[in-house]
Amino acid sequence: MNNPLLQLFDIAPFSKISTDHFLPAIKNGISLAKKEIETIVSNPDLPTFTNTIEALDYSGELLDRVTSIFFNLNSAETNEEIQKIAQEASPLLSEFSNDIALNLDLFKKIETVYSQKETLDLTTEQLQLLDKRYKSFSRNGANLPDQKKEKLRAIDKELSSLSLKFGENVLAETNKFEMLLTDESDLSGLPEGAKEAAKAMAKEKGKEGWLITLDYPSYIPFITYADNRALRKKLALAFGSKGFHNDELDNQDTVLQIANLRHQRAELLGYASHAHYVLEERMAETPDKVFSFLEEILQKAKPAAEREFKQLESFAKDLDEIDQLQKWDGAYYSEKLKQKLFDLDDEKLKPYFKLENVIDGVFTIASKLFGLNFEPTSEVDIYSEEVKTYDVTDQDGNPIALFYADFHPRPGKRNGAWMTSYKSQMKKNGKNIRPHVSIVCNFTKPTPSKPSLLTFNEVTTLFHEFGHALHGMLANTKYPGLSGTSVYWDFVELPSQVFENWCYEKEALELFAKHYETGEVIPMELIEKIKKSSTYMEGMATLRQLSFGLLDMSWHSKNPKDIKSVKVHEKKTFAGTSLYPDVEENCMSTSFSHIFQGGYSAGYYSYKWAEVLDADAFEYFKENGIFDPEIAGKFKEHVLSKGGTENPMTLYKRFRGQEPKPEALLRRAGLIK
């Protein structure tokens, strides 16, 4: 009992945990959850909603807490030991998950309750939970004959191991590459802050000079500002070829295996493809609908993207006699042209976006919209000294959530930004148990002479992840299985994407965009430039997003057995959306973590889908004022607090009074007037 994960804890006891605590705690959690399931199955009473569906949703609480801590650490603070445990634990968890999903006795009890649902006088939330539980069994093989169940178990076990391996390889590739520059002229064009960060990075590694890595805060400034085209190319090739070197970190075979196993799994369960299986439980419903949705936007975006590309090409030719624009030129000339057209340079904006000020900004906006208060606390255990923690309360001082924020890159942290949770919200035994929510990002670090100053893109990223966090924090449902972000995948991005809109509004920016040295509020002319430039190169950006969605669907909407080369398949898929010449050494699929490691397989389209919702929703705010308490109250009540308790379109229409209109997105993107 000296394992802190097996003692009663409310807040994750990070400082008391050592890596050897995890596996015993996970095994113990599985054992306890199995007993809870056995209690449900062996109950001699007739199956009811309470003794079957509700009991099932509340089961496995310890296991959920332990695995949420473990897998979050595996993403944000991993090491070889943790990765080894993940490889050992994942098959056990996959096996346990199948033990439940394929338990015929349990399914029969659920089926009994489900068959009586019309006569049971259940609340809307209870009906939704019953429906979700029944489908999770019927869709995952509960009715399969034993031989097929065993096959399903084997596939799931292998898939969990392969996706971990995929992610480990991407992280190892990211950490492995270093470009050490010893001649200062190679840094020509780079902002002072980026140079200083590169020097600090080299010093940290005991090297002389300037160190450039594949971490976003290092990679993005170099690819955007460095005048040395050959070095931009070197960096772009390294970034674009992660997992594509035919060595021990190669992901090509892993990609093919994952795609094929997913397809076999879908067929085993009676679906035409993995996408057909996934989309049955999405707002989009079918692959055909996804393709026609992507195609509709493609028709509008492609002419604009081609015009923008021609404009960029002719600008690069005039400026530097570049005959053929390559991928490593895009960000560089795009930034130069943006400066020319709008007199707007990200470097001029950064002094107004000190990280601490932006954090205060999101807190102030959340307070004005939803009545929340954020109080820093040092009483909470953390896994890295860089993690910040806050007590979140409502206007009457009632506890709403515990909030963790982790902002800067580290060797044990994967790239990108995400929201996660350490404890779910639920109502149990008369108590409303409040959630513990976390966001993890990879923002520019402070340097010896400057605080962490964010690019505007990093500002929108912080608002995006904070929007997800609000969805988790403001959850107010009875059952953990429907709480917070437990919603359809193409609805989950609405709260995050809608929150980004406040970054572009004068009223919001004036609350937090203050010069880190003088305290001067961001000048009106800069706000105007931000607004004007918000649709800059939007056609190309839209085309890029659509290409990712189409690549995802190409792997998952039909049988991939005939795909022999990842690169050839990818090139064919990108044919209708590519503007730049193909780079033979690069391959996107081998590091496309969203779909091969994260949960976005057959779901990447949902970013664009949710953009339609968010553009439409924000038009509603703008009609009435971006801090209108009535609209904010409706959004909180019908979207943020409701989780997955009702069909998302029902919730959206209750908030908005109508279905979303795609024109709102096309208007905002400047693709239609």
CA distance 333 to 315: 8
Q: Structural domain boundaries of the chain?
A: 4-143, 177-240, 351-534
Instruction: Check pLDDT > 80 for residue 1.
Output: no
Which pLDDT score is estimated for 347?
87
Q: Categorize the per-residue pLDDT at 669 as very low, low, confident or very high, splitting at 50, 70 and 90.
A: confident
pLDDT of residue 345: 86
What is the structure's pLDDT at 661? 85
In this structure, what token pair is assigned to residue 604? Answer: 């990447």
* pTM (two decimals): 0.92
CA 622 – CA 615 distance, rounded (Å)? 10
Give the model's pLDDT for residue 358. 98
Element (H, E) at 211: strand 210-212
Whether 103 and 130 have beta carbons less than 8 Å apart is answered as no
d(CA 514, CA 358): 9
Q: Which of 662, 502, 584, 573 is nearest to 244 (CA)?
A: 584
Q: Which residues are paired to 521 by β-bridges?
A: 514
4-143 domain in CATH 1.20.1050.40?
A: yes
pLDDT greater than 90 at residue 5? yes
393: Cα within 13 Å, side-chain hemisphere: 9
Does the pLDDT value for residue 667 go beyond 90? no
pLDDT digits (tens, 9 = 90+) for 65-115: 999 999 999 999 999 999 999 999 999 999 999 999 999 999 999 999 999
Work out the pLDDT band at 197, boundaries 50, 70, 90: very high
Q: If DSSP states are collapsed to H, E and C, what string results for 34-53?
A: HHHHHHHHHCCCCCCHHHHH
Who contacts 325 (Cβ-Cβ below 8 Å, separation ≥6)? 309, 312, 313, 316, 333, 580
- Amino acid at position 232, single letter: R
Domain 351-534 fold is Neurolysin; domain 3 (1.10.1370)
| Tens-place pLDDT, residues 45-59 | 999 999 999 999 999
How far is residue 425's CA from residue 436's CA, in Å, rounded to a whole number? 8
In eight-state DSSP terms, residue 54 is I
CB 437 within 8 A of CB 404: yes
409: nearest Cα among 187, 598, 195, 204: 204
Are 591 and 566 in contact by the 8 Å Cβ rule? The answer is no
pLDDT > 90: what percent of the chain?
Answer: 95
Cα 333 from Cα 536, distance rounded (Å) = 13
User: Mean pLDDT over all residues of the chain?
Assistant: 96
Q: 453 by DSSP, 3-state: which?
A: strand
Q: In this structure, what token pair is assigned to residue 206?
A: 């005991």
| Amino acid present at 479 | Y
In tens, the pLDDT along 277-294 reads 999 999 999 999 999 999
Arithmetic mean of pLDDT, 145-172: 96
Q: Where are the alpha helices (DSSP H) in 287-326?
A: 287-320
Q: Which of 540, 539, 538, 426 is nearest to 484 (CA)?
A: 426
* 640 DSSP assignment: I
Half-sphere exposure of 276 (CA within 13 A, CB side): 14
Catalytically annotated residues: 465
Largest CA distance in the chain: 82
pLDDT per residue as tens digits for the range 441-466:
999 999 889 999 999 999 999 999 99
State the pLDDT confidence band at 261, using cuts at 50, 70 and 90.
very high
pLDDT given at position 670: 85
Asked whether 351 and 453 are in contact (CB, 8 A), the reply is yes
β-pair type (436-440, 418-423):
antiparallel
- What is the sign, positive or negative, of the torsion defined by CA atoms of 576, 578, 581, 585? negative
Q: Give, in degrees to the nearest 5, the angle at Cα 486 between 278 and 104.
A: 60
Please check whether residue 225 is in contact with residue 194, taking contact to mean a CB–CB distance below 8 angstroms: yes
Instruction: Check: CB of residue 418 under 8 Å from CB of residue 74.
Output: no
